Amino acid sequence: MSCVAAVRGALEACQGTRNVQVDFDKKQATVELQKGIDPATLVDALAAAGYEAKIAATD
């Protein structure tokens, strides 16, 4: 499995995620979250999958 697929899979497995896009070259992912979902859960999911992450921006 590629890194992009692994990151996308980890994010898509999180409750309340939609439209997960992963850009390997930019080293970033964009995710739409349903209201009430804590973005920190995404960071935790990626850490569990072996990837370092941080929240860059929320809208």
CATH number at residue 12: 3.30.70.100
Specify if 55 maps to a domain: no
Specify if 44 maps to a domain: yes
Specify if 56 maps to a domain: no
Asked if residues 38 and 44 have their Cβ atoms less than 8 Å apart, the reply is no
More confident residue, 33 or 1: 33
- Mean pLDDT of all residues belonging to the chain: 93
pLDDT for 23: 95
Domain hosting 40: range is 3-48
**DSSP annotation of 14:** S
Specify if 53 maps to a domain: no
User: How many domains in the chain?
Assistant: 1
Taking residues 23-47, report their average pLDDT. Answer: 94
Specify if 54 maps to a domain: no
Residue partners of 54: CB distance under 8 A and separation at least 6: 43
pTM of the predicted model as reported, rounded to 2 decimal places = 0.88
Specify if 17 maps to a domain: yes
Instruction: Write 37-43 long-range contacts (CB < 8 A, 24+).
Output: 41/14, 41/15, 42/11, 42/14, 42/17
pLDDT for 57: 79
pLDDT for 59: 67
